[in-house]
A = this chain, B = another copy of it.
Amino acid sequence: MKAAIYEKAGKMTVAEIEKPSLQAKDDVIIKVVRACVCGSDLWGYGEDIHHDHGDTNSGHEAIGIVEEVGEDITTLVPGDFVIVPFTHGCGHCDACRAGFDGTCDNHPGYTNWGNNYQSQYIRFHYGNWALVKIPGQPSDYSEGMIKSLLTLADVMPTGYHATRVADVKPGDKVVVIGDGAVGQCAVIAAKMRGASQIIMMSRHADRQQMALESGATAVVAERGEEGIAKVREILGGGADAALECVGTEASIDQALGVLHNGGRIGFVGVPHYNNHALGSTFAQNIIIDGGSASVTTYDKEILLDAVLKGDINPGRVFTQTYSLDNIDQAYKDMANRKTIKAMITVD
């Protein structure tokens, strides 16, 4: 089969590799319909840190058709159309029952366990509860709907996770930090949960515009102290919740700065820092909460339904589409911010 592999620093390519096969009783083999590139896929792209195919850095978001199921799989049959999350919740441990399947107690970590979603086939581990069935077949849906369904593998549940852990409630004043695909989805999620004001912090006109179309009530281009002052001016005080969708210490500081005391940070930007001054959250009574999204829980409970009804349109984050053969261009364009999120068609 064809699969995207890391060739060298700054260069993805497509190679012919062995098609995966069932190995465990709860494995599922999935034929990929669409995959995409995540901001986190870019972390090692420009650096010479990945050498062998399949280690990491080659996608963890897809939708596809079930090709084959292990003998313990009771929830799916070949031919089913599914969302392929980046998470692998078991569905019955304490973490999953608390709605935190992104950090399942039985399947810790949230990687694709050495599998590459930017390829023709995926071996999905622990498939019984985690995979989410989509009604019908791909041909039943418009391209716009296909895009929104694809967001349900990661970015839309991750944006939703930020609002859930920050406990965004009707009437809340919310600030979104990060204007990438996850930040855009966080705007959608904040609106779903009834936020009365949603400020997107963004310096890019196209991303500002997208956020406004998704429900943001204002955009703030300034950063640092100036950005904090601007947010406070618009809100007439501090925000109730800050959704941190970047993962840097600067963005955590931005989040701490825009909140009133007793405010809440939901952080879903994978931390690019080792430590943060927890003492400062104590002094402000700030809730700080984050981690890997509960993809399966949110998809099953709320997001798939909202997408299928047309209530939300997260698919707009896919501003460009590329064939699998053109994977390197997809990475390049995302790295250069020419596309917000790159969708990959797989034949």
Which residues of A does B touch, CB under 8 Å? 93-95, 98-100, 102-105, 108, 165, 237-238, 240, 252, 260-263, 267, 270-271, 273-279, 281-292
Contact = CB atoms under 8 A, between A and B. Distances in A.
21 contacts: A93-B237, A93-B260, A94-B261, A95-B285, A98-B262, A103-B262, A103-B283, A105-B261, A165-B285, A262-B291, A270-B282, A273-B279, A275-B277, A276-B278, A281-B289, A281-B290, A281-B291, A282-B292, A287-B288, A287-B289, A288-B289
Q: Which of A282, A285, A287 has the most CB of B within 10 A?
A: A285
Contact of A98 (B260, B267, B271, B279): B260
A286 B288 CA distance: 9
Closest 9 CB pairs of A and B: A100-B262, A285-B291, A94-B260, A95-B261, A103-B261, A103-B285, A287-B289, A275-B275, A276-B278
Given A103-B283, A252-B278, 10 more contacts: A94-B261, A95-B261, A98-B240, A104-B261, A105-B260, A271-B279, A273-B279, A275-B277, A287-B288, A288-B289
A279 B286 CA distance: 17
Contacts of A288: 278, 281, 287-289
Q: How many copies does the complex hold?
A: 2
Given A95-B260, A105-B261, A287 B287 contact: yes
Contacts of A165: 285, 287
Contact of A94 (B108, B237, B286): B237
B237 A105 contact: yes
Contacts of A252: 278
A165 B104 CA distance: 23
A290 B281 CA distance: 7
A147 to B, nearest CB: 28
A100 B285 contact: yes
Contacts of A262: 94-95, 98-100, 103, 291
Given A94-B260, A274-B277, A275-B276, A285 B237 contact: no
Contacts of A240: 94, 98
A38 to B, nearest CB: 16
Contacts of A104: 261
